[in-house]
Homo-oligomer: A and B are copies of this chain.
């Protein structure tokens, strides 16, 4: 037996296996995951595992290594989050999200830090040796809402899209603020005196860390898109580039002390559109599946490790400090959300309701990032107290808040996510309104989001697409893409049932069989009439729609595409249908 030799990969594989099997186990009993969030169950499994290890070895189980967390476990989750980020609600609410992420996090850090310092002054609590700087340092690591924890809980409760993106977007983008404040206070702790210059340098760093992350991410994202232009002959390594470039963007950002999370999100959002157009359908399935799989495994491992690391002798217990930490975390977040939303609502027509505000404040879950940061602290006398307080806050938010948020959402009747995809009609209207509003903003000289979106779209179709896409054809409008997807799904269903017609669809045949279609469709789709009519219209005219370009576009003229190409393709299609 030669265990030493294979130890590292063997143990890693076993941990992943345990995580995956735990996941299967939960889903075998359908009732459990509907009451308790998966993250709680996983932490619970981790606690048991930790207890077993502690019992057998008689010493603390190994704590989650911060390097492993930041270098290997976090990136897949953030990549997944960035790649599948609903870009429309994200950019529509980017202002509010940034306000929460930057101002809200700073508010929380200083609020928690100063009020804990106040508590430390009470002689009865025996905490006078904890300095203000240490309290602020602790505040900077405990204030940040954790994207992994938020995602795990919010994915299960299905609140409306806007509310989801507000909480989740904040948890992602506050990384830049957390990184800066945490490093700032940590270096202050080690400095003998602090000059005002250092404080100003800290403020300047916000912009460097955040914008630097965006820049690094976008440049890697565009390089990835550019690389996939040339993979036509080796489809098999296409998916690799998506992962390689995003990971490189994360590592590069970390290397330069920029925000890795911001970088990988920008990279994923930047590349997605072009990569999807360049790679094959199967490669794309692989990318999507593997991203989900990887992030799901990372997520599971993080929560299990969180549980395992909780057990042991790393903790120093001090009731007042720990209790007040939990209370201040709750209070300052609630206050912050109230104050900030007051300002946000003054400038928006579509206001954030008080129910939504409550869920935003209540959904501020802490997770593995705080946990890793507290272990990264330099050794000093009260580190174990900070570790204990952090652990309690995480367990409190994940267990108590995570388990009660679903009943609360039900109780308050918070607006839920609509389950059905937007219909073709809705999509047409949304697109029409976008163009209309862009036009209005253009005329009125107001540079709002529609104006910028329109300019970006122009830049995209004029330069980016030509460089990054392999076949720079007419870009397909989302309606045509939706229709193609529906057609593909329909074809697969027919093939499955063995009812595929082998001929092209004549209009005459279509109309004579219309009753059959309506019957069939009624069972499958949510609003069959609308879809069905649309589908029929599109089926008859697909060719024409495909060629007329992406609906109306302010930057393309009707006769933009080359007439000879069009004529050739018409000929080919005619020939085929004969």
> Does A256 make an interface contact (CB < 8 A)?
yes
* Contact partners of A230 in chain B: CB under 8 A: 24, 27-28
- Closest Cβ of chain B to A69, distance in Å, is 13
Whether A487 pairs with B509 at a CB distance below 8 angstroms is no
Whether A488 pairs with B499 at a CB distance below 8 angstroms is no
Whether B23 pairs with A247 at a CB distance below 8 angstroms is no
> Does A348 make an interface contact (CB < 8 A)?
no
Task: Please give me the residue from chain B that is nearest to A532 by CB atom.
Answer: B502
Choose, from A197-205, A287-295, A322-330, A390-398, the stretch at the interface.
Answer: A287-295
> Does A413 make an interface contact (CB < 8 A)?
no
Whether B504 pairs with A501 at a CB distance below 8 angstroms is yes
Query: A289-B283, A517-B503 given as contacts; is B491 within 8 A of A494 (CB)?
Result: yes
Whether A248 pairs with B24 at a CB distance below 8 angstroms is no
Whether A71 pairs with B513 at a CB distance below 8 angstroms is no
Whether A13 pairs with B239 at a CB distance below 8 angstroms is no
> Does A498 make an interface contact (CB < 8 A)?
yes
Whether A236 pairs with B6 at a CB distance below 8 angstroms is no
Whether A487 pairs with B505 at a CB distance below 8 angstroms is no
Whether B539 pairs with A573 at a CB distance below 8 angstroms is no
Partner of A501 from B492, B505, B536 at Cβ < 8 Å:
B505
- Closest Cβ of chain B to A148, distance in Å, is 16
Q: Which of A484, A504, A536, A539 has the most CB of B within 10 A?
A: A504
- Closest Cβ of chain B to A480, distance in Å, is 10
> Does A123 make an interface contact (CB < 8 A)?
no
Task: Please give me the residue from chain B that is nearest to A67 by CB atom.
Answer: B5
Whether A244 pairs with B520 at a CB distance below 8 angstroms is no
> Does A542 make an interface contact (CB < 8 A)?
yes
* Contact partners of A282 in chain B: CB under 8 A: 285, 289
Whether A240 pairs with B513 at a CB distance below 8 angstroms is no
Query: A248-B13, A256-B1 given as contacts; is B492 within 8 A of A516 (CB)?
Result: no
* Contact partners of A286 in chain B: CB under 8 A: 285-286, 289-290, 293
Whether B576 pairs with A520 at a CB distance below 8 angstroms is yes
List residues 244-260 of chain A with CB under 8 A from any CB of chain B: 244, 247-248, 251-252, 254-257
Partner of A505 from B490, B499, B505 at Cβ < 8 Å:
B499
Counting every copy of the chain, the complex holds 2
Whether B503 pairs with A71 at a CB distance below 8 angstroms is no
Task: Please give me the residue from chain B that is nearest to A280 by CB atom.
Answer: B289
Partner of A6 from B5, B255, B297, B517 at Cβ < 8 Å:
B255
- Closest Cβ of chain B to A335, distance in Å, is 36
- Closest Cβ of chain B to A119, distance in Å, is 35
List residues 464-513 of chain A with CB under 8 A from any CB of chain B: 484, 487-488, 490-492, 494-505, 509-510, 513
Whether B503 pairs with A240 at a CB distance below 8 angstroms is no
* Contact partners of A491 in chain B: CB under 8 A: 491-492, 494-495, 500
Partner of A490 from B1, B21, B285, B495 at Cβ < 8 Å:
B495
> Does A237 make an interface contact (CB < 8 A)?
yes
> Does A219 make an interface contact (CB < 8 A)?
no
CA distance A573 to B282 in the complex (A): 31
> Does A339 make an interface contact (CB < 8 A)?
no
Whether A17 pairs with B248 at a CB distance below 8 angstroms is yes
CA distance A387 to B257 in the complex (A): 43
Q: Which of A8, A497, A499, A543 has the most CB of B within 10 A?
A: A499
Whether A23 pairs with B297 at a CB distance below 8 angstroms is no
- Closest Cβ of chain B to A2, distance in Å, is 6
List residues 523-578 of chain A with CB under 8 A from any CB of chain B: 536, 539, 542-543, 546, 573, 576-578
Contact with B along A1-24 (1 / 0, CB 8 A): 111011011100110110011011
* Contact partners of A501 in chain B: CB under 8 A: 500-505, 509-510
> Does A423 make an interface contact (CB < 8 A)?
no
Whether B503 pairs with A516 at a CB distance below 8 angstroms is yes
> Does A411 make an interface contact (CB < 8 A)?
no
CA distance A143 to B127 in the complex (A): 72
> Does A379 make an interface contact (CB < 8 A)?
no
Whether A513 pairs with B520 at a CB distance below 8 angstroms is no
* Contact partners of A461 in chain B: CB under 8 A: none
> Does A72 make an interface contact (CB < 8 A)?
yes
Known: A9-B251, A237-B293, A498-B542. 20 other contacts (CB 8 A): A1-B256, A3-B255, A9-B247, A17-B244, A17-B248, A20-B241, A236-B292, A237-B296, A239-B293, A240-B293, A282-B285, A283-B289, A285-B286, A487-B498, A491-B495, A492-B492, A501-B503, A501-B504, A502-B505, A502-B539
Question: Residues of A at under 8 Å CB distance from B?
Answer: 1-3, 5-6, 8-10, 13-14, 16-17, 20-21, 23-24, 27-28, 30, 67, 71-72, 227, 230-231, 233-234, 236-237, 239-241, 244, 247-248, 251-252, 254-257, 282-283, 285-286, 289-290, 292-293, 296-297, 484, 487-488, 490-492, 494-505, 509-510, 513, 516-517, 519-520, 536, 539, 542-543, 546, 573, 576-578
29 contacts between A and B (CB under 8 A): A5-B67, A6-B71, A6-B251, A6-B255, A9-B247, A10-B248, A13-B248, A14-B248, A17-B248, A20-B237, A20-B241, A21-B227, A23-B234, A23-B237, A27-B234, A237-B293, A237-B296, A239-B290, A285-B285, A285-B286, A286-B290, A487-B498, A488-B492, A497-B504, A498-B539, A500-B501, A500-B539, A501-B510, A503-B510
